[in-house]
Structure formats: structure tokens, C-alpha cells
Amino acid sequence: MQKAPGLKTVIRPVVLAGSITCCLSLAAASHAYAAAACQDPIKIGITTPLTGGIALQGAQVRNAIETAVDEINASGGVAGKKIKLVVEDTTGTVTVAISALNRVLREDPLLVFGSMISPENFAQSDIIKKEQIPYLYAGTNSQLSAQNIPWIFRISYHDGQLAKVLPSYIEKRKLKPAVLAVADDFGLGAVKNIRAEFDKLKIAPTTTETYAPTDRDMTAQLLKIKDSGADSIVIVGRTPDLIVILKGKARLGIKFPIMGNTSVGAATTLTSLTDSDADGSIVFGGALPNGSQDSKVVAWTKKLTDKYNFPPDNWALAYYDAAYLVKKIIGDVGCDKEAIRNALAKVQDFQGLITKYSSKDGNLTNVIYIYKLQGKTPTLEEVVSP
């Protein structure tokens, strides 16, 4: 009579293990079936600047996704289905960004990758909301995710996060910064957030200067900053702007460092600068491939540089990771757009080349990388959770 309980304790783990194996097999079969039901090829849209003043940045989006898709297709695609890219040039302007998205949507893609240009992302958001299609983008204006559109997912840091980290960095070092920013949704949105945090920390910028997105001479703004008593400059700008500013700073004999968003340390910026132009700059934002010594990242950087004759930057890194995230999600849930959206909203600890991605309030990245440039080489100082 005493053996029955003992017999039960032996049998239960065996039955449980069998049940788990069965459930896992059924789940795997369900995932395979879901992906197998996708159309062939699986269409994915891209809208990004490929001509105009920010074409080098925009090309990073296409180059990275194209590289990932070539790799995915070469290894069998997703459940045997190949991915086909539908690419349209936004030229870096809002009106063309809208028409570019509409042209992509006529091809009925499964999802769309938008660019890293916040004004373009804002312009496209209403269309995405209406069409109900997953949309991944890298524009950094924090208000993009505040629109509460459940179909859009940011794959980069945003200026609300940067605004928590950069002022704290300044406050700890008792600096007296000036502020210089591009006067559009991207720059003014970032400055608004930074100034709010400055106020909390009782940091008073010596001056705040802006410039138009098309300006290519910031001498007047830099001279005002030089005469303002500042010992550092907080800059929010894009690659073409930053090249002009950093060269102008050196030409005018401004010795104190600049602190800015990721583009300050991106390869697209540094290629056009000398070591002395860039040296001492502090970079806040996403992970920089040119700041990593990891062998996988070094090999990936060489691959894209050889393929496109230009080194990949932080945007390329983010979109490459995102392409593989999309591949995983399609493999898991198939090609139902709502299922993909729901899966994107539940992403946890997806490992990219450098960073991990977890979904929170429409944002997939939740850390800020801080680098200091030694010459033109970014050296990682810290990774901060805002």
C-alpha cells in the first residue's frame, strides 16, 4: 500500500516532460505553418532619402536592410519564402516622403521601414494609422511615440531619453554649455526636452542658437557662442550640419568640446573630418559600430564598407538588427499584419549586433550609449538607462 504514492511521483515527471515536448512541437509546427502561408515573395517597403542633402544617411537604411535581406534569402528566406524589398526615395522632404509611402503601399507590403528623419516620420504617421500596417522607423523626436499610434515602432533612441542623460552629464561636470540646434521637428523637439531638464538641474545655457536645415554656414552662431562665456556646446544636428559646425569651430579657434547626438560620432560624419576637428567630442545616443572592437561587428562593418564603398553608421546598425527582428517575428507569427504588430509590442531582449531590443511604449531601445572621440575613434565611456 505504501508503493502507490512513490509510483505516482516517478510517473508525473515523465508525463510532464512528454507534454512539454508535445507542446513545443505543436508550437513549432504552428509557427512553421503560419510563415508557410505567407505570399511568395514577402514584400517589405522602405522609404528613405537616397538623393538630396542627407542621401548618405538615408542610404544607410537601404544598405543595412538590403544586406540583411540578402543574407536571409541566401539562407532559405522565411519558411522557404524570399523577401522582396520595395524601395522609394523621399529626397529628405516631407511632401515627397508622403508620395513615396503611397507608392510603396500600392505594392501591398507586409510592413514598412521609414527613415531616421523625424519630419518624414510625422508626415507618414497618419497614413500608417489609416492603412494599419506595421512601421519601423528611427526618427528621434520623442513626440512620435507620444502619438499613440499602435502600428509604429521606433528602433533607435529618442531625444526624450537623450534629454535625461546629457544634462546630467553636464551637471556632474559643472559645465557652462551653449546650445546649437537645427530648426525643425528634430532639433527643436530635442532642445525643448533638454531645456526642460536643464531647468530642473538649474543649468542656464550661455546662449541658444538655431540654424535652418539648409544652412551651410554657421559662423554667426558659432561666434555668438564663442563670445557667450560657454565652455562647451550642446549640438543637435544631422551629418551635413555637423561637418560644417565642427570644421567651423576649428577654423574659428573654438577649443572647448561639443556634446551631441549620435551623428557626431557616426562614420558618415567622421569621414569628412580631420582628427583635430573631431577630437574630444562627446557623443550621446545609439550604439556606434565604429566604436566596437567585437569581431562580429568589425566583420559586419567591413562587409558593408566593401559592398557600398562607405562605412555603416548607427542607423545602419539599427535597421540591420530590425530586419532580423522582423524575420524572427514573421517566422513566429506569419504574415498577418495585426499579429506582427502585436509581436513587435511584446519584444523582449532581442539581441542585435551590439544592443538588445525590448518594446516599451512603441520604443524598442531603452539605453543611451556615451562615447568620447579620441581623434576620430569613438571610445565607449558608459551605457545609461535614462
Q: pLDDT class for 5, splitting at 50, 70, 90?
A: very low
Q: Give the model confidence (pLDDT) of 43-82 as tens digits.
A: 999 999 999 988 989 999 999 999 999 999 999 999 889 9
Q: Same domain for 257 and 377?
A: yes
Q: Give the model confidence (pLDDT) of 129-148 as tens digits.
A: 999 999 999 999 999 999 99
Taking CA atoms, 328 is separated from 132, 334, 335, in Å, by 21, 10, 12
Q: Is residue 14 domain-resident?
A: no
pLDDT of residue 223 exceeding 50: yes
Q: Same domain for 105 and 204?
A: no
pLDDT of residue 227 exceeding 60: yes
Q: Same domain for 89 and 127?
A: yes
Arithmetic mean of pLDDT, 172-186: 94
Q: Give the model confidence (pLDDT) of 332-364 as tens digits.
A: 999 999 999 999 999 999 999 999 999 999 999
Residue corresponding to grid cell 573631431: 278
Q: Same domain for 251 and 377?
A: yes
Contacting residues for 279 by C-beta, under 8 A, at least 6 apart = 373, 374, 375, 376
Q: Is residue 214 domain-resident?
A: yes
Quick check: pTM over 0.95?
Answer: no
- Round to whole Å and give the CA distance between 339 and 60: 28
> What is the share, in percent, of the chain residues with pLDDT greater than 90?
82
Residue type, 178: A
pLDDT of residue 21 exceeding 70: no
Q: pLDDT class for 13, splitting at 50, 70, 90?
A: very low
Q: Same domain for 199 and 333?
A: no
Q: pLDDT class for 2, splitting at 50, 70, 90?
A: very low
> What is the share, in percent, of the chain residues with pLDDT greater than 70?
91
Q: Which of 76-80, 148-152, 205-209 has the lowest mean pLDDT?
A: 76-80
Q: In whole angstroms, what separates CA 189 from the centre of its chain? A: 17
Q: Is residue 138 domain-resident?
A: yes
Q: Is residue 10 domain-resident?
A: no
Residues in the chain: 386
Q: Same domain for 267 and 187?
A: yes
- Round to whole Å and give the CA distance between 375 and 386: 28
Arithmetic mean of pLDDT, 100-122: 97
96's enclosing H/E stretch is helix 94-105
Q: Is residue 35 domain-resident?
A: no
Q: Is residue 350 domain-resident?
A: yes
Q: pLDDT class for 9, splitting at 50, 70, 90?
A: very low
For residues 36 and 55, which has the higher predicted lDDT (pLDDT)? 55
Q: Same domain for 336 and 215?
A: no
Q: What's residue 37's pLDDT?
A: 78
- Round to whole Å and give the CA distance between 112 and 122: 14
11's enclosing H/E stretch is helix 3-36
Cell of 97: 516622403
Q: Same domain for 279 and 302?
A: no
Q: Same domain for 56 and 134?
A: yes
Q: What's residue 27's pLDDT?
A: 44
Pairing status of strand 42-48 against strand 258-260: unpaired
Q: Same domain for 69 and 147?
A: yes
Query: Domain span at residue 235?
Result: 160-292+369-384
Q: Is 370 helix (H, G, I), strand (E, B) or coil?
A: strand
Q: Can you give the CATH number for the domain in which 57 is found?
A: 3.40.50.2300
Taking CA atoms, 182 is separated from 236, 263, 350, in Å, by 6, 13, 33
Q: pLDDT class for 28, splitting at 50, 70, 90?
A: very low
Q: Same domain for 225 and 317?
A: no
Q: Is residue 59 domain-resident?
A: yes
- Round to whole Å and give the CA distance between 347 and 94: 30
pLDDT of residue 8 exceeding 70: no
pLDDT of residue 294 exceeding 50: yes
Residue type, 353: L
Q: Give the model confidence (pLDDT) of 265-278 as tens digits.
A: 998 899 999 999 99
- Count structural domains, the chain: 2
Residue type, 287: A
CA nearest to 177, candidates 223, 221, 220, 225: 225
CA nearest to 360, candidates 219, 157, 89: 157
Q: What's residue 3's pLDDT?
A: 40
Q: Is residue 21 domain-resident?
A: no
Cell of 223: 561666434
Q: Same domain for 375 and 254?
A: yes
